[in-house]
Chains A and B, each alone.
Chain A
């Protein structure tokens, strides 16, 4: 299955929840009335699109219908599709920016979103592309996080640089960069400990890691990927804001999208943050990672046009 087919499959639940329910709401109606608008808003809010964004979308649909003097409920869905597409679209660079040797990808996020798993998959993808990848085990806090990364390293066939649990993450990062430079690696992926974005001192620690990267390799990190759990609600916005302030997030990886009917968070993120969603996690296997594509996303939810 191509990476796009995978995105579509993982959004099948969201498709039922949005497209399916909109159709059900329209079914058997002769005209567009207030109740239908309300229902539409409800469907969007329930998909984690967010209250403000949902209202705005419904207002947008209403304005178009009013302007064209349409009263036909079947027009609702194509207009909603268009409005959503406008919101999600952008000149997003989903390809990872990996300019030099070594290029550095830093992976950040709150606890339990799937950073380590994502890194395993990403290492696999990049080494399939012929790149020499090195993993830096800078999550020195959580019990057995280093072991977990090593398992993924073995699966992807890439090397892992580590120190003991509880050591300074900045030191691990420093070691990894030295190793990458002297042994001619293409990409270094830095795993960091999960942390709540509200913990000031933990965010300071993350900034330090960020600074060490930039000091050792000018321009690094070239990518800072924020891993977000797709089942997270509107808190995702707050996570992206604060991680963005600390480390200048360049892209988002949305994980566990296959389990949720609430893919609407993609819309909320696009709308409020202007940070591109670059990758999507679609399962627990090493190949379950897909590039995000706005058009595919809309097609996946509404069916192909």
Chain B
């Protein structure tokens, strides 16, 4: 998980701090020394670390904090707020032009993920009803144009290309074409280049001058080390970046780039790439990321994900079912599918507060394997309608048949039925609970996922 080692070290440090009733200045300094090391080891830029630690210290050693009833929590809160502000505070959105089309230019080093991110952005805005034009401005890397075309085809988004002509000319022609065809978003992919390559940097300046983009986004590999800052700084000085997209944040990056880039350039991180699929792009929320780093989870993103992927009618139908308490395997399957749509399970789980601690304790038992969901689906699909509605009738020979039909074993069928039974029990408890809650005049949302 991204930031894991940083997260673990910080949490360990604060656990020690919380164990103390009173805090002295020495305690805080000791903790800050640990914080400093943790950040440095996470590839956070040296200068940024220095400033960060100093600013936390300035706020944390005052009388107000040390004499408060819960001084350690105070310190943690200060660190959390400073972390969030380090990364930019609030989520920064893409500026949409008053007069379309909005032009976005993508720049970055080789291999940071510009082409994939361009396509992901087009997909992101497609969901918001915008019509994008992807522009193939990388004429140097072999097959880069083809790559963008393949991605465009997958998304059903048009791709503008003029072979290996000069990129500034391609960009201008693309903008004209977008105006003619009523596309309201133009995303220009450019070739990866080293920030020290003057000739290629000039080319970017020419593209910029030619199309006057509303956004220039720097695509940064989240695993970049101390160099992240130098790269971002150079690109910013020459082009005037409007934002940053962090890619490969689904790996185990230590987070250095994420925590340094904004502080040094002042450019907000607008999006984060969290997977290889074209929908694996999330708006970046610094405050929520700070919570995740400190193990406080990210319930807001979880809820948003659920809202975005859940079919509203289906959710309502399920809720009705929950109330009536006749929850059967059809509903179970429908839940599984909704859950699967939310993305890789470990990512979803990572947003639950305290989950990382829990998962460590329960290692082995909590191995969420994506395949389990596939098997579960196959097993239920192999049952007939009567069996799905009345799982009680699943006797030995039926179980054998279903196992054969789904390519699983009887044990796996048994396990699924048991899981279902547990979920159903849970559902019944919930529906009772909701009824009583209603009597008390309170109506509260219920969690609705199996396995959780």
A: which residues have CB within 8 A of B?
Answer: 13, 42, 45-48, 50-52, 110-114, 141-145, 147-148, 150-152, 165, 196-199, 201, 229, 231-236, 238, 256, 258-262, 265, 284
Is B97 on the interface with A (CB-CB < 8 A)? no
Name the residue on B nearest A141 (C-beta).
B276
> Which A residues touch B194, using CB under 8 A?
256, 258-259
Name the residue on B nearest A242 (C-beta).
B252
> Which B residues touch A260, using CB under 8 A?
227
> Which A residues touch B147, using CB under 8 A?
142-145, 147-148
* Docked-complex contact B142 and A234, CB < 8 angstroms: no
Bitwise, B244-257 to A at CB < 8 A (1) or not (0) is: 00001011111010
* Docked-complex contact A231 and B224, CB < 8 angstroms: yes
> Which B residues touch A233, using CB under 8 A?
43, 223-228, 254, 256
Is B125 on the interface with A (CB-CB < 8 A)? no
Name the residue on A nearest B196 (C-beta).
A259
* Docked-complex contact B111 and A111, CB < 8 angstroms: yes
Is B46 on the interface with A (CB-CB < 8 A)? yes
Is B144 on the interface with A (CB-CB < 8 A)? yes
> Which A residues touch B111, using CB under 8 A?
111-114, 229, 256
Q: How far is the CA of A181 from the CA of B18 in the complex (A)?
A: 65
> Which B residues touch A148, using CB under 8 A?
141-144, 146-147
Known contacts A13-B196, A147-B146: does B225 contact A110 (CB below 8 Å)? no
CB of B88 to closest CB in A, whole Å: 21
Is B156 on the interface with A (CB-CB < 8 A)? no
* Docked-complex contact A144 and B143, CB < 8 angstroms: yes
CB of B245 to closest CB in A, whole Å: 13
* Docked-complex contact A232 and B225, CB < 8 angstroms: yes
Is B230 on the interface with A (CB-CB < 8 A)? yes
Please tell me the size bucket of the interface on B.
35 or more
Is B231 on the interface with A (CB-CB < 8 A)? yes
CB of B260 to closest CB in A, whole Å: 10
Q: How far is the CA of A142 from the CA of B116 in the complex (A)?
A: 9
A-B complex: 6 closest residue pairs judged by Cβ atoms: A233-B225, A112-B111, A151-B142, A233-B43, A143-B150, A144-B147
Name the residue on A nearest B219 (C-beta).
A112
Is B307 on the interface with A (CB-CB < 8 A)? no
Name the residue on A nearest B222 (C-beta).
A235
* Docked-complex contact B225 and A265, CB < 8 angstroms: yes
Pick the contact of A51: B41, B154, B197 (CB < 8 A).
Answer: B41
Name the residue on B nearest A235 (C-beta).
B223
Pick the contact of B227: A52, A142, A145, A261 (CB < 8 A).
Answer: A261
User: Which residues 229-253 in B have Cβ within 8 Å of A in the complex?
Assistant: 230-231, 248, 250-253
Q: How far is the CA of A152 from the CA of B41 in the complex (A)?
A: 38
Q: How far is the CA of A259 from the CA of B221 in the complex (A)?
A: 15
Q: How far is the CA of A232 from the CA of B196 in the complex (A)?
A: 17
Pick the contact of B143: A151, A229, A258 (CB < 8 A).
Answer: A151
Name the residue on A nearest B42 (C-beta).
A234
Name the residue on B nearest A234 (C-beta).
B43
CB of B274 to closest CB in A, whole Å: 10
> Which B residues touch A198, using CB under 8 A?
1, 250-252
CB of A147 to closest CB in B, whole Å: 4
Q: How far is the CA of A260 from the CA of B113 in the complex (A)?
A: 18
Name the residue on A nearest B46 (C-beta).
A46
Q: How far is the CA of A256 from the CA of B147 in the complex (A)?
A: 22
Q: How far is the CA of A196 from the CA of B41 in the complex (A)?
A: 20
Pick the contact of B113: A111, A147, A236 (CB < 8 A).
Answer: A111
Bitwise, B116-158 to A at CB < 8 A (1) or not (0) is: 0000000000000000000000001111101111110010000
Q: How far is the CA of A150 from the CA of B196 in the complex (A)?
A: 29
* Docked-complex contact A231 and B251, CB < 8 angstroms: no
| Listed residue (B148, B154, B196) with the most chain A CB atoms within 10 angstroms of its CB | B196
Is B59 on the interface with A (CB-CB < 8 A)? no
